[in-house]
Amino acid sequence: MRSVVRRLAHRLLLPAHVRADIRDNELLTRLLEEVLDPDSVCLDVGAHEGAILQEMVRCAPDARHVAWEPLPALAGFLRRAFPTVDVRQAALSDRSGEREFTHVLDEPGWSGFKERPVPRGGAVKKIKVRCERLDAALHEAARPVLIKIDVEGAEEEVLRGATETLRRHRPLVVFEHGAGSADHYGTTPLGIHALLTRELGYEIGGLDGDGPYTSERFTEIVAGGERVNFVARPLSGRM
């Protein structure tokens, strides 16, 4: 009991955005436990150090998961840490080829196609990374049950390159989308909402089951920073 109280007290001392990240990771883990069978294939787009990938492997140990991570050091780490996962040293986008990528050296989680302000500053390095479209890169035999997208603002590019996969397999889509996406990528909540709901037949809600959100409510949530992580669920019978 005391250890639980200490953990709760420690969490309350953390910055609000860190507490939110911890909460969302816990909610996502619970979602994985609810929806995955042992052989359910998951796709981790922007796997970083593999915190969510680890839960995917734990919940679905018999599946051949696929993870994309463009930073060479992190991709190498993931290959060593997860030998059963197909780790691609590449970024997903709406077009294939090579692109410039901003590597934030001290805060690699802030790395992305576009350079943007980092909370504590820090040095950046421009590198070239390989890009893939999910519709072209996914093996024909793979039938994903869940896709996680955490790409620091480029989520619409990933979704645009994955429309065939989403229409064919109807996976759950867990994605990060914050107000900064519009500033650096031109991505807006209205655009994301229209793509997922009108074009692809999904509904958007919170990881805790809140929603589904109208376009106005989704825009309000993103603009106010109430949430940055969402889940899109396919509507039955819509393609």
| Segment 151-167, tens digit of pLDDT | 988 999 999 999 999 99
pLDDT of residue 5: 38
pLDDT for position 14: 52
Give the model's pLDDT for residue 166: 97
d(CA 34, CA 213): 22
Per-residue pLDDT, 183: 64
Sign of the torsion angle spanned by Cα atoms 193, 181, 125, 103: negative
Query: Rounded to whole angstroms, how far apart are CA atoms 58 and 40?
Result: 11
> How many CA atoms does the CB half-sphere of 66 hold within 13 Å?
21
- pLDDT at 15 > cutoff 80: no
C-alpha to C-alpha distance for 47 and 85, rounded to whole angstroms: 11
Q: Give every CB contact of residue 179 below 8 A, 6+ residues apart in sequence.
A: 222, 223, 225
**Residue 152, phi then psi, degrees to nearest 5:** 55, 45
63 pLDDT more than 50: yes
How confident is the prediction for the chain on average, in pLDDT?
89
pLDDT exceeds cutoff 50 at 133: yes
pLDDT band at residue 8 using 50, 70 and 90 as cut-offs: very low
How sure is the predictor about 102, in pLDDT bands with cuts at 50, 70 and 90? confident
